[in-house]
Structure 1
Amino acid sequence: MLLRLPTSLSEARAHLAEGAVPVGGATLVWGVWQRDGFPDLAVSLRHVPEANVLRPDALGGAVLLHRVDDRVPEVLHRAAGSVGTGAVRRTATVGGNIVGSTLRCLLPAALVLDARATVLDPDGTYETDLAEVVAKRPLLLALRWREPVVSGYHKAPADPGGPPPLVVAAAVHAEEGGGHRLRVAVRDGHEVVTGAAAHAAGDGPGQVLRTLEATDLGALPPTAREALRREVTALLGRLP
């Protein structure tokens, strides 16, 4: 297998046009390649600047998970820190986790940030939503979002090799004209369920939780709804 390491978007586009297979840390595809055969040509974005951004409002697809720190919102920082082992986080990339993984541990965090994705194909770059990223699995260049007021992340303990652990991600954004909007994403099994609620000054968590119960989140099993209740109550208590 020949691995291309472009240093610009134009070089990366050219390699994609040649039929190069995108690869990040190869933590997910290595076993498949060993079984089914390696591609003739692969391309990594590890040296492309646009794929390595790490800012309060953006995160590149080629960033290794162990590099995701408190420069990004808490929900995303904690999500990245919960993936696998330290050895996995030193190899796995943001793009590989969201696009290539079946668990997509970063996806709930990205959803509550209302993140938009910039993706790359042989014709260039374009912006899209996370639904298209999950459905079409393009080459993720970067995620961008508006900074939240507060955010939080909970991942239930789980045994290695067992079912996917429950994840609750939440973030509160300031709304134009005042007030806030809370977004919640819950991974229950392999499915991610989302919901949102307005939060006005003086509102207690009870009103927000009742609004969330009227969304798809209300159909979650009792254990997941209880975890959601705890996380939302704690998060709203942190609002300035």
Structure 2
Amino acid sequence: MELRLPSSISEAQRCLAEGAVPVGGATLVWAGWQRDGFPERAVSLRDLPEANTVGPEELGGAVPLHRVDATVPEVLQRAASGVGTGAVRRAATVGGNIVGSTLRCLLPAALVLEAKAVVLDPEGVFETDLTELLAKRHVLLALRWRTPLASGHRKLEGDAGGPPPLVVATAVHADGETPGRLRVAVRDGYEVLSETTPYDADADADAERVLDALAGTDLGALPATAREAVRAEVTAVLARAADV
């Protein structure tokens, strides 16, 4: 197998046009290749500057999870720090986790941040939403978002050999608008649910109104343990947003 390491967008486009298979951190594809055979060409974006950014409103697709630090919103940092072991986090990448993994540990965080995906194909670079990113399995150059007022992330303990642990991600957005928006995303097993509801930081007992609104969505049909986790995380993130 020939592994290509482009250092420019144009070079990366040529690799894709020639049929090179994106590898991310190769933590998930390697076993499959050993079983089914290695591709003739593969491409990694680890030397591509545009895919290695870490900032308050952008995260590159080739960034290893151990580099996702407090520069990014709390929800994204905590999601990355909760993936696997230290050895896995040093190898696994943002793009590989979101696009190449069935676990998609970072997806709930990206959803509540209302992130857009900057993607690469043989024709060029363009921005799209997360739904299209996953459906078409684009090569992820970077995630971009606007900084929320507050965010949070909780990952429950899972059973060994069982389904993926429950994850609750939250973020409060204002954007100069009243009311603001609360985004909640839950990974329950391999399914990710996402809901949005208005919130008013100046209203009395607004947390209860927000929770009542969420109870009328698909989140209200979650198991009791999941609903309690949602309640705790929503209450906490709204309290933090009110202090901003």
Do the two structures share a fold, i.e. TM-score over 0.5?
yes
Distance 2:92 2:238 in 1: 32
1:207 equivalent to 2:209? Answer yes
Work out the CA distance in 1 between the residues paired with 2:3 and 2:26.
12
Q: In the alignment, what sits opposite 2:188?
A: 188
Q: What is the TM-score of this pair, normalised by structure 1?
A: 0.98
- Name the count of aligned residue pairs: 240
Normalising by structure 2, we get a TM-score of 0.96
| Aligned-residue RMSD, C-alpha | 1.0
Whole-angstrom distance in 2 between the partners of 1:106 and 1:72 = 13
Superposed CA offset, 1:34-92 (max 9, x none):
00111110111001111011000000000000000000000000000000000000000
What is the match of residue 231 of structure 1?
Answer: 233
Give CA-to-partner distance per residue, 1:165-212, whole Å, 9 cap, x none: 000000001143333211000011100111111111224210010111
SS of 1:185's partner is: strand
Map 1:110-149 to 2 at 5 A: 110-149=110-149
Paired position in structure 2 for 1:100: 100
Paired with 1:192 and 1:159, the residues of 2 have a C-alpha distance of: 19
C-alpha distance in structure 1 between counterparts of 2:131 and 2:70, whole Å: 26
Alignment of 1:38-187 (within 5 A): 38-187=38-187
Q: Is the 8 A contact 1:116 1:127 kept in 2?
A: yes
Query: Matches of 1:219 and 1:132 in 2, distance apart?
Result: 26
Partner Cα distance (1:133, 1:93) in 2:
16
Corresponding position of 2:224: 222
* Structure 1 unaligned spans of 5+: none
Counterpart amino acid of 1:14? R
Distance 1:27 1:174, change over 3 A: same
CA 1:235 to 1:177, structure 2 compared with 1: closer, same or farther past 3 Å? closer
**Structure 2: where are the runs of 5+ without partners?**
none
**Deviation larger for 60-69 or 206-215:** 206-215
Tell me, in whole angstroms, the C-alpha distance in 2 between the residues paired with 1:175 and 1:211.
Answer: 21
In 2, the alpha carbon distance for the partners of 1:178 and 1:107 equals 27
Alpha-carbon distance between aligned partners in 2 of 1:220 and 1:71, rounded to the nearest angstrom: 32
Segments of 4+ in structure 1 off by > 6 A? none
- On the 8 A contact 1:175/1:181 being kept in 2, the answer is no
CA distance in 1, matches of 2:38, 2:13: 21
The one-letter amino acid paired with 2:203 is: G
